[in-house]
Amino acid sequence: MFDIPVLHEQLHLGSLLGSIIVIAGLYLLLWGKNKEMKDCAAKVAQATEEIKDQEIQFQARGEVVHGVAVRLALSVDLHWLNPEG
């Protein structure tokens, strides 16, 4: 084998492969979380747009839109954001 100049230790194949696997795993985890957050943001944007469309429809019909109607729409349409409750 050969010595690592900085650590003055031998580099073994197992430790090299283990390091590569750990770094690749961390990269995959961060990539997956980033993708999940983008998907979640897209769902929230879509739900917000739907709520705005509902408000416009209510106003076009002459119905009064209060915070209660908006909260009800949020609790029905966005229940997937908080599956626990």
Whether residue 57 lies inside any domain: the answer is yes
DSSP 8-75: TEEPPHHHHHHHHHHHHHHHHHHHHHHHHHHHHHHHHHHHHHHHHHHHHHHHHTT----HHHHHHHHH
**Whole-model pTM?**
0.51
Residue range of the domain that includes 58: 33-85
Tell me the pLDDT tens digit for each residue of 25-77.
Answer: 999 999 999 999 999 888 888 888 888 888 887 777 765 555 555 555 555 55
Whether residue 61 lies inside any domain: the answer is yes
Distance in angstroms (rounded) separating the CA atoms of residues 55 and 7: 65
Whether residue 25 lies inside any domain: the answer is no
Whether 22 shows a pLDDT value over 90: the answer reads yes
Whether residue 65 lies inside any domain: the answer is yes
Whether residue 68 lies inside any domain: the answer is yes
pLDDT band at 1 (very low <50, low <70, confident <90, very high): very low
In this prediction, residues 9-21 reach a mean pLDDT of: 86
Question: Of 79, 1, 72, which is closest to residue 43 (Cα–Cα)?
Answer: 79
User: What is the number of structural domains in the chain?
Assistant: 1
Residue 65, phi-psi category: left (phi > 0), alpha (psi -120 to 50), beta (remainder): beta
